[in-house]
Amino acid sequence: ALRQISQRTISTASRRQIENRIAEKQKFFQEDNGIPVHLKGGLMDSLLYKITMGITVLGKTNTKYLLFAA
């Protein structure tokens, strides 16, 4: 019984084929269209970039405030 179960799981897993789209993504990210590579991912990359820059500016401002206050 255990042998049949192990053979079934292996055989069903081998049936699934995942499409390899790495070549397409490489072409997209290497394309010279004037967009920086860290923003080529679309809206989510742009949002993460803006949040990161905002946190950086707030951190610098807070550091300067605390240094002058000391």
Residue 47 maps to a domain: yes
Of 49, 47, 45, which Cα lies nearest the Cα of 28? 45
- Parent domain of 56: 38-69
Question: Please, how many CA atoms are within 13 Å of residue 9, restricted to the half-sphere of its CB?
Answer: 5
Residue 48 maps to a domain: yes
Domain count, the chain: 1
Residue 51 maps to a domain: yes
Write out pLDDT tens, residues 7-17.
655 555 555 67
CA 5, 7, 9, 11 torsion-angle sign: negative
Residue 22 maps to a domain: no
CA pair distance 23, 31, nearest whole angstrom = 12
Residue 14 maps to a domain: no
pTM to 2 decimals? 0.60
Residue 27 maps to a domain: no
Residue 45 maps to a domain: yes
Write out pLDDT tens, residues 25-65.
899 899 898 999 888 989 999 999 999 999 999 999 999 99
